[in-house]
Amino acid sequence: MLQVPEPFLRVERLGRDFGRFTAMDDVRLDVAEGEFLCLLGPSGCGKTTLLRSIAGLDTPTRGKIFQAGREITRLPPAQRDFGIVFQSYALFPNMSVAANVGYGLRGPAWPRERAAQRVAELLELVGLTPQAERYPAQISGGQQQRDALARALANEPGLLLLDEPLSALDAIVRLHLRQELRAVQRRLGVTTIMVTHDQEEALSLADRVAVMDRGRVMQVGTPQEVYATPANPFVASFVGRSASFDAVVAGDGVRLPDGTRLPAEAAHRHPEGCQVRAFIRPEDVVLGGEGPLTGEVTSIEYLGSVCRLELRAAGLNLQAEIAPRDLDGMAPGERIPLALPPGKLMLFAQDG
């Protein structure tokens, strides 16, 4: 029989109330050993509350957390096995880059020589060997965050927790550090949970993404799964860009409020006459060709490698993407044929 491995971290029906306000509810999550999981969601959705519960920096009101088979729900942070990096680095300003990394390497497990060797290894790993003797104020934001990462990894923790570690950095440093972070994580194979509200960051870094809204986990899946097959309208609109509109299931497609019929492969999953919210990604809208719709261009946004068009067609507001070389003098007000491929329309039954 196939052995299903125990998850390294298991979160069971976790909830946290602050007075009458529920910040987190019924959160269930399994994280495999070595996995990189991102907690993604809008501000205030409970991501940090969940991460803090896993670290023992906050105590959940309900539910349980297990790490490596041991229940840790109410253990103090010092008795847990994790390293953490915060958005605001939190380095010790009066200690050198190297001393910051070595800060936690004390006690019988870390004789002086072994600790020094470990610090050197980690500085090498994050590319800070030349800056080892500087102070945090004498290095850049990106370097400070590398120092914080090395410090979090010093004790060889089983779990690495990252709370928006890249969000204070400028766009270029952020992109660079994102790739480095992934490379370091892969090399060490350390199970990692990262909080972010940046969907591009989550999609590009994570093995799996847990999308949260209003204290609950809406969907857990690979980046491809949450993007291509969102579980509900929230995930469809929060992850990636999309246009959405109301429609009614009719035969093998949907009928729009203005009477237009659109074929849709997903229609068969809903009963005839069902009210649905339909979503379509900009990259799936096909411009030109035979139609069958005609769209009026309402705006054109030039973004360098791509142009984003806003269009109005059959009473709908749609978005499409086009290569700048295909713009060919196109201007707002122009009417162009377009099609919404039947396999690309995502449909969700409307509540009530």
| Interface with ligand ATP (CB under 6 A) | 18, 21, 23, 41, 43-49, 197
- What torsion, rounded to 10 degrees, do the Cα atoms 71, 87, 164, 216 define? 50
User: Judged by CB, which is closer to ligand ATP: 45, or 345?
Assistant: 45
User: Judged by CB, which is closer to ligand ATP: 60, or 282?
Assistant: 60
Least CB distance from residue 8 to ligand ATP, whole Å? 22
Kind of pairing between the strands at 191-196 and 159-163: parallel
User: Judged by CB, which is closer to ligand ATP: 59, or 117?
Assistant: 59
C-alpha–C-alpha distance, residues 177 and 110, integer Å: 29
For the chain, the maximum distance between any two Cα atoms, rounded to a whole number of angstroms, is 77
- What torsion, rounded to 10 degrees, do the Cα atoms 306, 303, 171, 197 define? -80
Least CB distance from residue 14 to ligand ATP, whole Å? 12
Least CB distance from residue 169 to ligand ATP, whole Å? 16
C-alpha–C-alpha distance, residues 288 and 311, integer Å: 13
Per the listing, tokens 């990096």 go with 85
Cβ of 113: how many Cβ atoms within 10 Å?
Answer: 8
Least CB distance from residue 54 to ligand ATP, whole Å? 12
Least CB distance from residue 21 to ligand ATP, whole Å? 6
C-alpha–C-alpha distance, residues 19 and 288, integer Å: 56
CB 8 within 8 A of CB 32: yes
Query: Which residues are CB-contacts of 70 (< 8 A; sequence separation ≥ 6)?
Result: none
In angstroms, how far is CA 52 from the centroid of its own chain?
17
User: Judged by CB, which is closer to ligand ATP: 210, or 345?
Assistant: 210
User: Judged by CB, which is closer to ligand ATP: 17, or 33?
Assistant: 17
User: Judged by CB, which is closer to ligand ATP: 105, or 212?
Assistant: 212
Least CB distance from residue 167 to ligand ATP, whole Å? 9
